[in-house]
Amino acid sequence: MSGNTPARPTLLYSLYCGASALIAPFAWRKVAAKLRDYGLPEERVCERLGHASLPRPSGRLIWFHAASVGESLSVLTLIRRMGEQAPDAEFLITSGTPTSAELIAKRMPPRCRHQFPPLDTAAAVDRFLTHWRPDLGVFVESELWPQMLVRARKIGCPLVLLNARLSDKSVEGWKKRPDTAHFILDQFDLLVTQNRKTAANLQAMGAAPDRIRPGSNLKAVSSPLPVDQDTLTKVRGSIGNRPIWIASSTHEGEEETVLEAHQALLKQHPDLCLLLAPRHPERGDAAEALVTAAGLSCARRSRGMLPGPATQVYLADTLGEVGTWYALSPLVFLGGSLREIGGHNPFEPMQAGAAVITGTGHYNFAETYAELSALGAAAEIGSAGELADQVAEWLEKPDIFQAARDAAGQFISRQSDQLDQTVDALLALLPPQRRP
């Protein structure tokens, strides 16, 4: 498929290229300020202009581009598996946020490096491609940057859209511009979707049917989150034999519902502890204020505190420790779902042996949750009362809870075949020799 002549550029694409050149100085100032505020050295900040801070390795280079933390981490297991099957291959991950760069650095597979992506301008993209000369480009989820795609394809780099996911709003927007949608999607040699709905949407947007391959959500086969055994031992020792449940990745406007549910649960389970892990740790002060306003006692992880015998809420306002909390308790409510936020990755807690409770606003994982609910691996709630009832049922009926956990584990184990198939499909597009 990589030998096919792509569709011709459209007027809208040409206008986009012109507009991107005009707004580039303003976009550069904005993204550079964010990276500098994070404390990154200027060498790394300039990666957004296409200036590499690392040399290109000598082997065949597979380039993965992802948006942020979740997308970036979802490909690490895939990279590790590809590296085992192609021992001469080297890997580059680009992602736009400093948080993703920090977490990737901690979990980097062998022969892998990270850079920030170039702005989607001709100059920055060409500078990036001239240095890195990727042999295969893999764009994760919904990262459709037009110039990055078109200019990479122009230098002969096969392209894949992996774990493809597009919102209904995005799909409708592209359908209004069918020629441009067809042109952009025609840059890809292969489009591997998360679900059947996305496969149908891509075809409706103009993607060639023979290039679309329905798959599973790549996040389902990611490596389990890391667990700090020392922290786990200390927190578990401090809690003792008290029952505990987790409310993870909560957003503004959701903690109130979680805390109301916890207040109700304490009436029947007075020694119950809630571990509350906001999605954004910088909201720790706001979350603590809500706990205090609810009349509950609180200990904060960011201040080095451990939950005491009377601690009703342990506020885990830190970054990168969620895997440790999932190891602490398999009873998890996953936030981003009580409001229309789209939900968060249910595979991470399930990989740790948990069953999951979710709100109704999980549209980013709608097909996944439909299947999980049918299997009994997840429960959907719509209010504080329903959340309290579901937690109480799993606390009080261990057989039912264990069945939910078993169903979640079986779902995860069935995804491993999809990973092997994806690895084979990607390696089939990798040129046998490094391109000059």
**165, 194 Cβ separation under 8 angstroms:** yes
For residues 377 and 289, give the distance between their C-alpha atoms in angstroms, rounded to a whole number.
33
Residue 383 DSSP class: S
Distance in angstroms (rounded) separating the CA atoms of residues 427 and 61: 12
**Contact (CB, 8 A) for 369 and 362:** yes
Show Cβ contacts of residue 417 under 8 Å, excluding neighbours closer than 6 positions: none
Annotated active-site residue in 43, 47, 71, 256:
71
H or E stretch including 356?
strand 355-358
The answer to whether the beta carbons of residues 54 and 128 sit under 8 Å apart is: no
Nearest to 279 by CA among 305, 309, 317, 253: 317
* 8 A C-beta contact, residue 163 and residue 415: no
Q: Is residue 47 among the annotated active site residues? A: no
> C-alpha angle with apex 149: 182 to 154, nearest 5 degrees?
95
Q: Angle formed by the axes of helices 146-154 and 11-37, to 10°?
A: 110
Distances (CA, A) of 284 to 255, 301, 326: 11, 10, 19
Active site residues: 71
